[in-house]
Structure 1
Amino acid sequence: MIRVMLADDEAMIRAGVSSILSADQDIEVIAEARNGKEAVEQCRLHRPDVALLDIRMPELDGLAAATQIKSAVPGTAVLMLTTFGEDEYITRALSEGANGFLLKASDPRELIAAVHAVAEGAAYLSPRVARRVITKLQETGLSPAGPARSRVALLTEREREVLTLLGSGMSNAEIGRQMNLVEGTVKSYVSAILNRLDVRNRVQAAILAYEAGLVNRSGSSR
């Protein structure tokens, strides 16, 4: 069972998202919060598998809450809810260790898929927001230095295959099944990929996979 803490300052949004998630028998919303401060408190108290945070909230916004949650409860994956008008927040959230980004206007099935993905250790980028994230990273200089294709060329063929699957949103377990590898071996590959590409986390690695053309706009591998 995936245990989720949901934070949004609008009661109607919380009710709608909670209803969507509760339709999946493998997801349970165990706590809700009206602002970032409450979100941090609920995560410390319940230690959920996933914290689903709106970016704009009173008292403490989603970005600041994500930082505190990652520090207090490292095992909790953070999934940010965003809109097309919040590109600047997305780039900040990358540096705070967010595990994924999802548009509020996304299809309910994508919301469920995103929660499953980050709970299983995968990075999740909504295909519709991925391209905007890449563009913003390039503009702000937060994108890894050098052309993406040149950086990916530093990887072995096996590592590029892992990066492609990672960029498609697969967890370590899913990558292992796809490549007939044990999960521990996949973790070693992912660690090596992050080091070779000089990126901070799986989300930035996934973005690099998009930039290099390993993953197309629909989120599937080429």
Structure 2
Amino acid sequence: MQNRSNGDEKHSGNGEGTTGGPARPNTIRVAVLDSHDLIREGLAALFAGTEDLECVGAWSDPQVALRQIENLQPDVLLVDVHLPEQAAFETLRLLPSISPQTRAIVTVDCREEQCVILNPHWNSASHQPLRVVSQAFSEPDDCLQIALKMGAHGVVRKQSSFRYLVQAIRSVHAGQHWMELPTATRLAQQYLITLRPGEAPAKSGVESLTLRERQVVTLIAQGRSNKEIAHELHLGYSTVKNYVSSILEKLALGDRTQIALYAIDQNVIEA
């Protein structure tokens, strides 16, 4: 597929920009915002071979993408959740104002069972510490939940097949929301607990910690000070102190050193 420049963006030879060729009738117009050249170029090629899908643009730069999306008005936008500088969530926030008809699907890397925030006992040599994306919510979430709260209409794991992605695109374009069954089940369970808080089972140990407390434990085990944790998580210094106090109480520990040792022993973080 030949790429050509549009507006103030010049063709870079790396699969970015708007795509050439006349528009096909009765197609879903898809755009891709992803930091990886291979994914952008690969998806554009796959869409070209799918009868009812057309790739109208593919970018790695969110600012360039937003300018061109305003003109292109695609039906569906695929957004990589791990764009630099938390740009995926800013894109989701701005999208309704610049292209109201565009519905967004967020692509994420890890599987549900491999999320170290949702499953602190899961361990992988490739695990990297979680970067918290926003403090705009009363309860901390994984990146998938944040994306949904920011307006995404669907979420797809990058480990999924192209056929699965096409199903997601068609469903979201038809006005539905799309997510895998384990994610939908987890969100439903969390919602039901808010309706029936008295039925929530008692938890202990790591399971008693909130997602934010697990994040604080992870950073403590990395040797971060309260000031550094506050900066990393976009929290106030006193808020971090309150989290540390809560962690000590829930885990029946005496100090930060014990928190760090506990985190390593319980695989809250990678040892």
Alignment TM-score, normalising by the size of structure 1? 0.58
Q: Tell me whether 1:117 sits opposite 2:166 in the alignment.
A: no
**Whole-angstrom distance in 1 between the partners of 2:180 and 2:44:** 19
- Please name the residue that 2:97 is paired with: 71
Per-residue CA shift, 1:155-203, capped at 9, x if unaligned? xxxxxxxxxxxxxxxxxxxxxxxxxxxxxxxxxxxxxxxxxxxxxxxxx
Q: Would the alpha carbon gap of residues 16 and 144 (structure 1) be closer, same or farther in structure 2, given more than 3 Å must change?
A: farther
- Pairwise CA RMSD of aligned residues? 2.5
**Whole-angstrom distance in 2 between the partners of 1:60 and 1:35:** 12
Conserved 8 A contact 1:53-1:78:
yes
- Amino acid of the structure 1 residue aligned with 2:82: R
Q: What are the equivalent positions in structure 2 for 1:159-170 lying under 5 Å apart?
A: none
SS of corresponding position for 2:107: strand
- Amino acid of the structure 1 residue aligned with 2:158: K
Identity %: 25
- Please name the residue that 1:11 is paired with: 37
Q: Would the alpha carbon gap of residues 143 and 5 (structure 1) be closer, same or farther in structure 2, given more than 3 Å must change?
A: farther
User: Which of 44, 50, 57 is equivalent to 1:24?
Assistant: 50
- Please name the residue that 1:134 is paired with: 187
Q: CA deviation at 1:123?
A: 0.7
User: Which of 138, 142, 151 is equivalent to 1:97?
Assistant: 151
- Please name the residue that 2:122 is paired with: none
Q: Would the alpha carbon gap of residues 43 and 24 (structure 1) be closer, same or farther in structure 2, given more than 3 Å must change?
A: same
**Whole-angstrom distance in 2 between the partners of 1:45 and 1:60:** 23
**Whole-angstrom distance in 2 between the partners of 1:118 and 1:16:** 21
Larger Rg: 2
Q: Would the alpha carbon gap of residues 94 and 47 (structure 1) be closer, same or farther in structure 2, given more than 3 Å must change?
A: same
- Amino acid of the structure 1 residue aligned with 2:75: D
- Amino acid of the structure 2 residue aligned with 1:110: Y
Unaligned runs of 5+ in 1: 148-222
Q: Count the aligned residue pairs.
A: 143
**Whole-angstrom distance in 1 between the partners of 2:173 and 2:41:** 21
Q: Would the alpha carbon gap of residues 105 and 129 (structure 1) be closer, same or farther in structure 2, given more than 3 Å must change?
A: farther
- Amino acid of the structure 1 residue aligned with 2:194: A
Q: CA deviation at 1:107?
A: 1.1
Q: Would the alpha carbon gap of residues 77 and 23 (structure 1) be closer, same or farther in structure 2, given more than 3 Å must change?
A: same
Q: Would the alpha carbon gap of residues 121 and 58 (structure 1) be closer, same or farther in structure 2, given more than 3 Å must change?
A: same
**Whole-angstrom distance in 2 between the partners of 1:66 and 1:144:** 28
Q: Would the alpha carbon gap of residues 89 and 145 (structure 1) be closer, same or farther in structure 2, given more than 3 Å must change?
A: same
**Whole-angstrom distance in 2 between the partners of 1:56 and 1:118:** 21
Unaligned runs of 5+ in 2: 1-26, 116-129, 131-140, 197-271
Conserved 8 A contact 1:35-1:59:
no
Q: Tell me whether 1:145 sits opposite 2:171 in the alignment.
A: no
**Whole-angstrom distance in 1 between the partners of 2:51 and 2:153:** 23
- Amino acid of the structure 2 residue aligned with 1:117: S
**Whole-angstrom distance in 2 between the partners of 1:109 and 1:2:** 15
Of 75-84 and 32-41, deviating more is: 32-41
Alignment TM-score, normalising by the size of structure 2? 0.48
Q: Tell me whether 1:83 sits opposite 2:101 in the alignment.
A: no
